[in-house]
Amino acid sequence: MLIKVPGQDLNLRFFERVETVDDQYNIYDIGVEQPGEDGKTIIDSICVGGSFSYAKSLVKSIDDKAASKKSDAADAPSAAAA
């Protein structure tokens, strides 16, 4: 996610995904992006990498619970139909 800083000629980078050749790991960077003197973009950042399997399992569990609630609500007879 890039956020433009008002009044400044720079962007803040939050969890921008870094393209890699190996999809086994996910790499994200956090930092500052600004234009350089020669027209090239300068990025100062810190990268965080990992498989994030625990975080992915938590998100999947939350999504599954939400989908289950949604399907249960759709399957339940409504009071208006009675």
Domain membership of residue 81 (yes or no) is: no
Does 20 fall in a domain?
yes
Give the model's pLDDT for residue 73: 81
* Region 22-26 average pLDDT: 84
Which of the four pLDDT bands, split at 50, 70 and 90, describes residue 74? confident
Interatomic CA distance for residues 61 and 27, integer angstroms:
22
What is the residue range of 70's domain? Answer: 2-75
Within a domain: residue 71?
Answer: yes
28-60 pLDDT per residue, tens: 999 999 988 888 889 899 998 888 889 889 999
> Average pLDDT, whole number, for the chain?
87
Q: Is residue 82 part of a domain?
A: no
The count of domains in the chain is 1
Asked if residue 46 lies in contact with residue 29, where contact means CB atoms within 8 angstroms, the answer is: yes
Amino acid making up residue 35: P
pLDDT band (50, 70, 90) for residue 80: low
Report if residue 80 sits inside a domain.
no
Between 82 and 11, name the one with better pLDDT.
Answer: 11
